[in-house]
Chains A and B, each alone.
Chain A
Amino acid sequence: MSSLIQCDGIWKQYRVGDVEVNALKDLSITIEPGEFVAVMGASGSGKSTLLNILGCLDLPSQGQYRLNGLDVGSLGSDQLADVRNQEIGFVFQNFNLIPRTSALENAQLPLFYRGLPLAEQRAKAAAALKRVGLDGREQHFPTQLSGGQQQRVAIARALITAPSLLLADEPTGNLDTQSSREIMGMLEALNREGITIILVTHEAAIAAYAHREILLKDGQILSDRATTGASGAVEV
């Protein structure tokens, strides 16, 4: 019961035209608080589908998904929105910042939907930006920031609600090597502070930062093994 994530026999079916596609087939995983997990697999292996389900953006067709003991499958769309707001932070490959909106306002967005007073939203967003090393860039628009900086704004946005789970979908996919290292270093540091991170990637070097590697193939787990973590890679 103390597991953060508990998936039991999850299936996900899509209908493409007349063909039914099983994106996930009877998948079960348990993830404990504080883990740093890399989900790997070729495209079409079901890793994005899994991430959507773990992120409460989508519901499994069959099976049970418990997040912090809560049966997500029984929730309505508004309750799912609350769960995403309170428990989960998202970091996307293409950053997904709101265009022509300042870094500060992007970072404060989750609090905005929590209905906090404006001053509190701003103070927390400024603190979150400072935590990712962007103090002084609060009023910059996404277009005025480098890719690495944009991803850091996205991380600040994900962290601002102090979520129990951070989901990163190819967070370095659009970044150069240097920025990738910075971002992964930041995720690693956050994980050391106790945040559970699930990272989807197809790059072994990026997956190497994690302490556990789950390999998917055709919607099923091919392998699930502990890795050493590759902090060494940062210290090249």
Chain B
Amino acid sequence: MPAFIWMTVLTALRILRRNRLRAGLTMLGIVIGVAAVIAMVGIGEGAKRAVQAQIATMGTNIIIVWPGVTTVSGVRGSQGGAVTLTVADALDLKKKIPLLVETGWAKRDVMQIVNGNRNWNGPINGISPSYLTIRDWSFASGGPFTQSDLDSAARVALIGQTIVDNLFDDGEEPVGAVIRIRNVPFRVVGVLAPKGQSAQGSDQDDVIFIPFTTAERKVFGTAFLGSVGAMFASTDRAEDLPEAVDRIREVLRARHRLQGEQHDDFTVKTQVDIGRVQEGAGQTLTMMLFSIASVSLLVGGIGIMNILLVSVTERTREIGVRMAVGAKRGHVLMQFLIEAMTLSLLGGMLGIVLGVIGAKLTTVVAGWPTVISTDVIVVAFVFSLAVGLFFGLYPANKASRLNPIEALRYE
């Protein structure tokens, strides 16, 4: 049997070589289908990894709480419009929920920043020092401000790379310099290491951090002291996130005295929820690719079936001779199945090569990251084999059911 399969594969290859153009055209559907899948999955996978990397720049295992909608006499305010979350909430959460490693809080506003004769409008964030740990910020130079800076409402600032680029000359040392935010002088104590774009596409390095208390009292002029723009918390393990979210809701509802039917006056989201939106978009793309690939593999398979039916007719006499000298139906069936699979497999391999080249080319030309996984290649390989098997079955069966006498007499 091994000798039979080997010879049949050789015969199939010889027949394909003899009809090079026909074989090439027949394989085209499979080639295009497989190449499209390989290239697109490569690009999709690359994009997914990039998004995941961007989400990771938020920090790890993060929970974010925003102030929610307030309802005053049935009129609902805008999202985040309420001043329901306070520093006291954040501190209490940490005390009551052991799962939370850290809680932090922040409040932001866009304001003018001046250094000498240059100015820039950037987001000013009043934060607790713990915020930096939760969001995983590190420093290019200098360092963070401390709890005592927060307690004393010190006028110190941490600035992002975009701020450095816009307010300082090349080579000028930002750490130690004094910049003015809304005319209040601040000493720069640290420059943040760049994080690049966020998953939503905004520039994460266009940022200034100052102590929360300083922001509240000296820059923003807040009416309700202690109200925060958002709270942040982190857990040790990603698996703890859902439970931590539930506990946070419980504690906040109790603190805000919300009764059974009343809506939350805050919104809790985890990093996972934010990532899910991106993944959803990725899945839509994948489904679309999958349907395109299915259609072209189907067309390719029908092409193979068509050419095989022609081949069975052309070679009727040959089939008759083979039967006369002792070929069983199984032999004839196998011969045509192997020919179909050789055709589809060759097409598949060609498609894989073209797809990988296409993906690499996309990286070089368009600069998109692409990831070619062995999984995709294996799947493409198996799939093209399956297409050959499936679409070869009908013609092969037809060949094997020929009557040897009629086949021998066929002109």
Contacts and interface: CB of A to CB of B under 8 A. Distances in A.
Contacts of B322: 98, 109, 113
B409 to A, nearest CB: 9
A49 to B, nearest CB: 9
Given A77-B328, A81-B326, A84-B325, A112 B7 contact: yes
B321 interface: yes
B404 A86 contact: no
Contacts of A58: 405
A177 to B, nearest CB: 26
Q: Number of contact residues on B: which range applies? A: 20 to 34
A96 B327 contact: no
Interface in A158-173: 161
Interface in B36-93: none
B18 A84 contact: no
A118 interface: yes
A114 B405 CA distance: 21
B324 interface: yes
B328 A92 contact: no
Contacts, number: 69
Given A57-B405, A81-B323, A98-B321, A115 B330 contact: no
B298 interface: no
B120 interface: no
Q: Number of contact residues on A: which range applies? A: 20 to 34
A90 interface: yes
Nearest to A117: B3
Nearest to A90: B324
A115 B4 contact: yes
A46 to B, nearest CB: 14
B223 interface: no
Given A117-B3, A121-B3, A86 B326 contact: yes
A82 interface: yes
Interface string B1-35: 10110110000001000100000000000000000
A157 interface: yes
A112 to B, nearest CB: 6
Given A57-B405, A58-B405, A85-B326, A115 B1 contact: yes
B408 interface: yes
A78 B325 contact: no
A52 B328 CA distance: 17
A112 B404 contact: no
A110 interface: yes
Interface string A218-236: 0000000000000000000
Interface string A86-123: 10001010001111100000000110111111100100
A113 B324 contact: no
Given A112-B7, A118-B7, A57 B404 contact: yes
A148 interface: no
Tell me which of B1, B325, B408 has the highest count of chain A C-beta atoms within 10 A of its own C-beta: B325
Nearest to A157: B325
B328 A81 contact: yes
B205 interface: no
Nearest to B320: A96
Interface string B393-411: 0000000000011001000
A96 B328 contact: no
Nearest to B6: A118
A98 B328 contact: no
A60 interface: no
B329 A78 contact: yes
A92 to B, nearest CB: 7
Contacts of A84: 323-326
B318 interface: yes
A41 interface: no
Interface string A173-207: 00000000000000000000000000000000000
A52 B404 CA distance: 10
A77 B318 CA distance: 18
Given A99-B318, A100-B18, A115-B1, A92 B325 contact: no
Given A78-B328, A113-B325, A117-B3, 19 more contacts: A55-B324, A57-B405, A58-B405, A78-B330, A81-B323, A81-B329, A82-B328, A84-B324, A90-B324, A90-B325, A92-B408, A96-B317, A96-B320, A96-B408, A112-B7, A113-B331, A115-B4, A121-B3, A157-B325
10 contacts: A52-B405, A57-B404, A77-B328, A78-B329, A85-B325, A113-B326, A113-B328, A118-B3, A118-B6, A121-B3
